[in-house]
């Protein structure tokens, strides 16, 4: 599935006509303009949910800048491109290690870079990378983006859907179910074994240990949705 397929799936959910392209410029329709406005935002919003999306997990050794560092830290390291969230600082063998570091912005003329300040001489991280190509998404992940886009487009495209309407309620319930499915599917993509090479958790560790506070629960996440208002 590509970006157009994701947008058309969202339009299908709200009963709107599908698009032939994601055109921009003067000739673009209202729906095309709206889709282009929120597509990238919705994709990154789902990547930034408080879940360690394993298909988007990667590692890197950070490169340090040559400029001097102010304060108590000895080095500043530039974050990788499209790094959405650091999961852990690790060593060369990907074993997690802890040390003090701070995230800041490094300004070089007109350029700005996200950097890590630390006194470590070598820095390796495990992190979530943003993947723009939807063909690399698992279906359960694409579904979250599709529903998120549908929530944004429901009001401006259908001229009047509100949070109290049946369509919004349907999309909200679909989001909650799909979010639970995505977390469960994501949790099964690793295999940790004991000394006998037997999986102890059967892939459910992420679910059993996931936060249950209102700050990360699915109801709070759906409440964070902003309906695009074009009035």
pLDDT of amino acid 25: 82
Mean pLDDT of the chain: 85
**Contact of 136 with 55, CB cutoff 8 Å:** yes
pLDDT of amino acid 227: 47
Is residue 196 pLDDT above 60, yes or no? yes
State the CB neighbour count (10 A cutoff) for residue 140: 15
- pTM score of the predicted model: 0.79
Model confidence pLDDT, tens digit, residues 66-87: 887 778 899 999 999 999 999 9
Out of 96, 111, 129, pick the residue that ends a domain.
129
pLDDT of amino acid 218: 47
Is residue 8 pLDDT above 70, yes or no? yes
Out of 129, 144, 179, pick the residue that ends a domain.
129
Asked if residue 229 belongs to a domain, the reply is no
- Write out the residue range of the structural domain in which residue 83 sits: 54-129
Is residue 221 pLDDT above 60, yes or no? no
- Rounded alpha-carbon distances, angstroms, from residue 35 to 1, 12, 158, 191: 16, 13, 14, 38
Same domain for 124 and 63?
A: yes
| Least confident stretch, 13-17, 137-141, 164-168 | 164-168
Asked if residue 197 belongs to a domain, the reply is no
Same domain for 147 and 216?
A: yes
User: What average pLDDT does the segment 120-129 reach?
Assistant: 96
Is residue 230 pLDDT above 50, yes or no? no
- Count of domains forming the chain: 2
On the 0-12 / 13-18 / 19+ scale of CB atoms within 10 A, 159 is exposed
User: What average pLDDT does the segment 6-12 reach?
Assistant: 96
- From CA 129, how far away is CA 208, in angstroms rounded? 25
Higher pLDDT, 162 or 64: 64
- From CA 159, how far away is CA 167, in angstroms rounded? 12
pLDDT of amino acid 161: 53
pLDDT of amino acid 209: 54
Same domain for 74 and 118?
A: yes
The winner for highest mean pLDDT among 4-13, 15-24, 152-161, 204-213 is 4-13
Same domain for 8 and 120?
A: no
Is residue 58 pLDDT above 70, yes or no? yes
Same domain for 139 and 30?
A: yes
Residue 53: name the closest of 152, 225, 183 by CA.
183
84 SS3 class:
strand
- The secondary structure of the chain in percent helix, strand, coil, rounded to multiples of 5, reads 40, 20, 45
Give 97's pLDDT tier (boundaries 50, 70, 90): very high
User: What average pLDDT does the segment 86-102 reach?
Assistant: 94
DSSP labels, 105-139: EEEETTEEEEEEEES-SS-EEEEEE----GGGS-H
Structure tokens at 38: 């929120």
Give 26's pLDDT tier (boundaries 50, 70, 90): confident
pLDDT of amino acid 185: 96
């Amino acid at each position: 599935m590509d970006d157009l397929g994701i947008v058309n799936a969202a339009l299908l959910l709200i009963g709107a006509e599908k698009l032939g392209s994601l055109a921009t410029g003067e000739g673009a329709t209202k729906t095309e303009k709206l889709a282009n406005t929120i597509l990238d935002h919705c994709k990154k919003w789902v990547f930034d949910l408080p879940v360690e999306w394993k298909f988007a997990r990667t590692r890197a050794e950070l490169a340090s800048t040559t400029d001097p560092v102010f304060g108590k830290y000895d080095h500043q390291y530039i974050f990788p491109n499209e790094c959405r969230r650091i999961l852990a600082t690790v060593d060369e063998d990907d074993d997690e290690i802890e040390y003090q570091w701070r995230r800041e912005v490094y300004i070089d003329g007109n350029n700005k870079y996200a950097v890590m300040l630390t006194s470590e001489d070598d820095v390796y991280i495990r992190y979530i990378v943003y993947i723009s190509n939807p063909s690399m998404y698992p279906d359960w992940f694409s579904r979250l983006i599709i529903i998120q886009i549908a929530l944004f487009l429901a009001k401006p495209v259908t001229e009047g859907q509100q949070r109290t309407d049946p369509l919004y309620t349907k999309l909200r319930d679909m989001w909650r179910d799909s979010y639970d499915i995505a977390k469960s599917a994501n949790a099964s993509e690793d295999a940790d074994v004991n000394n006998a090479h037997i999986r102890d958790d059967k892939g459910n560790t992420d679910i059993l240990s996931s936060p249950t506070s209102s700050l990360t629960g699915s109801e709070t996440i759906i409440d964070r949705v902003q309906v695009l208002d074009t009035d």
